[in-house]
Structure 1
């Protein structure tokens, strides 16, 4: 058995550099709960999760007010063909908008067509057309599913009037989500929006998927604005990657994306003190034990790396970072054996490119299960067993 085995006799501390989600946190549940069923217990580690909040988020009041007006008046669906979320904070900001509009007595109820007015097939089409909401992972999917369920109980909820449907949680990162949107949104256009076919005397006839028999009698010109592919609305934070807008804009079937910054983010003033205090408390128990730190955002990661001795005062990698415990026969050299893990490629690339530190593992999917898989594989590779 490896010399590291005795150090893993108890649950491995895992520091999650994020604010604990309320009321329940799926990462806490996954890492503090029972070991996954159907797996050999000898290769599954026990963990003791702890949260160290890094970021504080400030809502963009002007942007949220603008979104509220769009939702309240029904302009949101007339202007956009769907929405994109890659951040749970963006979902929380949107939930504030939805609840504020639902609780506003001045919000418009669904407009009623006067009895003598003829049917408007295009207005009816807008009501029936699905409003796709694209998400990057299961956390954003759960948050939006909860919001949808809550809005179902609200009479005339403007959010439910959008006819929202959630897609893309399986993609795991922005690049995969962008590729999925290109396929799915185009298919949605073909199924629910107008397309053309040529006939000898009627060269441009609008069709509406399976319901085309209801709308096929009404001719449209080729440049009719009702036939234009609508842009997608992307709710973002102050710091984000541009992989999704860039990919969708560069595609042959271009999809326009409009970004709205719904919150600003900064590192909490107390983060460094809280993180160093947590490390000291762990040191008091057993200084050279294996412990895991999970980085959820590039912001604050340099403070963390200095805290574990991987960056010096000039933000350069230290000898300890260059020669880690598993690279020198398992000797702890009087220091904790840190395993640095990132939640995805954004944080991985930041640590690698900006800090000069190669993380030990990076989750392929930003989920508790994806994170656990990478940590387990790394610990097993280094022969850290219970």
Structure 2
């Protein structure tokens, strides 16, 4: 793989299949500076659209209205888990809507007395941005993935409620499509009595592919097709099929990725997966192996994986 590029100012396009965060996007910042002699050219192509699920929001609303999330005796949940920005946004919207119509006094001090667990810096930032909850106790952001967060919760939550014979349930707002890593680990029937942590999953949003994605992605691919090399970073299993189809890497008859010898022309497009969930989805559903998988789902993790690949293939 060459570290040069035929595009403007020798930049290597990096197509980030996500909505650009505002006001600042850490991926844009990370890939806009010189890296080991390489200048990347980041651009964003939104893939996902999220629809709030009223049934789940109603559950959250009822819990907040009844002060059921807290450490007092009558609370039904003693902590919360967030593993996506969208679940945080859905939870925050419930509070905002309640405050707007005068449902409650607009504050929830009981939530500031319990542990809130998050996975990764993006989710942490989302939680920290909830205006109604400026003093939450947030833990686990450094874990980086669901497996590590589950192990962290097992130890931390058990210490937090060590004075109780049984652990109070955790509230886990989630999307319709999610892995069961955390509930499976925390509620493992093989755990000793009293050490299991009940997890109450509440679906607050569902995710689908934006209708405009394929068209926008193809246009960006056309504009960069003559570059010596370019990278595509995929952030979610949702959209993988459309991505492979747009790259002409998908066999329409089998629904699987085409063998390498069937791809025409010299290869110039490289695929990076944000983490093992997306990588495993590409492997299992399409028989496709991305070129790299970030060890941590962060701008630093993606950059590290890509730069390691480039250095090895120069």
Q: Check whether TM > 0.5.
A: yes
The corresponding residue for 2:222 is 280
- Match for residue 89 of structure 1 among 86, 89, 108: 86
Alignment check: 8 A CA contact 1:72 1:108 kept: no
Aligned residues: 303
Over aligned residues, Cα RMSD in angstroms?
A: 2.5
Tell me, yes or no, if structure 1 residue 249 matches structure 2 residue 187: yes
Further displaced range: 16-25 or 79-88: 16-25
Alignment of 1:270 with 2:212, yes or no, is yes
Task: Say if 2:115 and 2:139, in contact at 8 Å, map to a contact too.
Answer: yes
**Pairwise CA distance, 1:127:** 5.6
Task: Specify the alignment match of 1:239 in structure 2.
Answer: 177
Residue in structure 2 matched with residue 303 of structure 1 by the alignment: 242
Partner in structure 1 of residue 311 of structure 2:
380
The answer as to whether partners of 2:31 and 2:42 remain within 8 angstroms in 1 is yes
- Aligned partner of 2:202 in structure 1 is 260
Secondary structure in structure 1 of the residue aligned to 2:270:
strand
Aligned pairs (5 A) from 1:101-180? 101-108=98-105, 130-147=113-130, 150-151=131-132, 159=133, 164-180=136-152
Q: Distance in 2 between the 1:12 and 1:372 partners? A: 13
Q: Work out which of the residue numbers 30, 38, 55 in structure 1 matches 2:48.
A: 55
Shift of 1:128: 10
- Rounded to whole Å, the distance in 1 between the matches of 2:82 and 2:141 is 10
Bigger mean CA deviation after superposition, 55-64 or 178-187: 55-64
Which runs of no fewer than 5 residues in structure 1 stay unpaired?
A: 36-40, 112-125, 152-158, 196-226, 325-332
Gaps of 5+ in 2: none
Q: CA deviation at 1:109?
A: 7.8
State the TM-score, normalizing by the size of structure 2. 0.88
Matched, 1:366 2:306: no
1 or 2, which has the higher helix percentage?
1
- Quick one: structure 1 residues 109 and 64, their matched pair in 2 at CA, closer, same or farther if it must change by over 3 Å? closer
CA distance in 2, matches of 1:341, 1:144: 27
- TM-score normalised by structure 1 residue count: 0.73
Pick the aligned partner of 1:313 from 252, 276, 283. Answer: 252
Structure 1 CA distance for aligned equivalents of residues 247 and 112 of structure 2: 52
> Could you tell me which residue of structure 1 aligns to residue 283 of structure 2?
352
Range moving further from structure 2, 70-79 or 86-95: 70-79
Q: Which residue of 2 aligns with 1:115?
A: none
Indicate the structure (1 or 2) with the bigger Cα radius of gyration.
1
Summarize the alignment of residues 32-71 of structure 1 with structure 2, pairs less than 5 Å apart.
32=32, 34-35=33-34, 43-71=36-64
Secondary structure of the equivalent of 2:249?
Answer: coil
